[in-house]
């Protein structure tokens, strides 16, 4: 059996890997709370949170906003509609799609979940302090912009 030569890559110091693992751990911790208290999976909570900040969006817009694929958005939307937490209405701008919006029950659930979300955020990030958190948010913004630049560059070279 032949072993590949060391490429200089170590996953424990490879930032995209570390970012992904850390993000998954944070999401998993929060998901356990949402599931236990409210019967929500992460995709369902994300749709509720995004819809709470809008008057209604299409599934396509929700996918773009949450960075979730069409199938995940569709399944989450179906689960929320089955619980009467969101309503689907025809999209006047495009008859092939629907707009999704929170129902009064969905808004009430959001009002219960949002404080828990903020509590979890404080528990996870509370050790950092205000200055570190501000710097962390700035770094996240810069990473997102760098990814957008890379994606735009890749699209331009296609």
Task: Write down the pLDDT at residue 106.
Answer: 97
Residues 118 and 132 in one domain: no
Token pair in block for residue 88? 């689907």
Residues 54 and 71 in one domain: yes
Task: Write down the pLDDT at residue 5.
Answer: 59
Residues 95 and 139 in one domain: no
Strand order in the sheet with 57-58: 57-58, 98-102, 86-90
> Which element (helix H / strand E) includes 109?
helix 104-125
Domain extent at residue 61: 42-127
Assign residue 121 the CATH number of its domain.
1.10.10.10
Tell me the β-bridge partners of 99: 58, 89
The answer to whether residue 17 is domain-embedded is: no
Residues 103 and 55 in one domain: yes
**How many structural domains compose the chain?**
2
The answer to whether residue 7 is domain-embedded is: no
Residues 83 and 138 in one domain: no
Contact 33, 120 (CB under 8 A): yes
Please state, rounded to an integer, the average pLDDT across all residues of the chain: 90
Residues 86 and 152 in one domain: no
Residues 123 and 46 in one domain: yes
Task: Write down the pLDDT at residue 1.
Answer: 56
pLDDT at 2 over 70: no
Contact 138, 131 (CB under 8 A): no
Task: Write down the pLDDT at residue 155.
Answer: 76
Confidence at 3, pLDDT banded by 50, 70, 90: low
């Amino acid at each position: 059996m032949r072993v590949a030569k060391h490429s200089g890559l170590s996953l424990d110091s490879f930032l995209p890997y570390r970012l992904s693992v850390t993000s998954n751990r944070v999401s998993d911790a929060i998901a356990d709370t949402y599931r236990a208290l409210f019967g929500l999976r992460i995709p369902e909570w994300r749709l509720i949170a995004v819809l709470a900040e809008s008057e209604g969006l299409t599934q396509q817009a929700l996918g773009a906003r949450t960075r979730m694929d069409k199938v995940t958005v569709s399944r989450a939307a179906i689960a929320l509609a089955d619980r009467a937490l969101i309503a689907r209405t025809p999209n006047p701008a495009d008859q092939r799609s629907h707009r999704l919006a929170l129902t009064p029950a969905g808004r009430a659930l959001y009002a219960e979940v949002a404080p828990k979300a903020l509590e979890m955020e404080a528990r996870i990030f509370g050790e950092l302090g205000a200055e570190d958190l501000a710097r962390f948010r700035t770094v996240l913004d810069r990473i997102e912009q760098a990814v957008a630049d890379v994606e735009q560059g890749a699209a331009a070279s296609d």
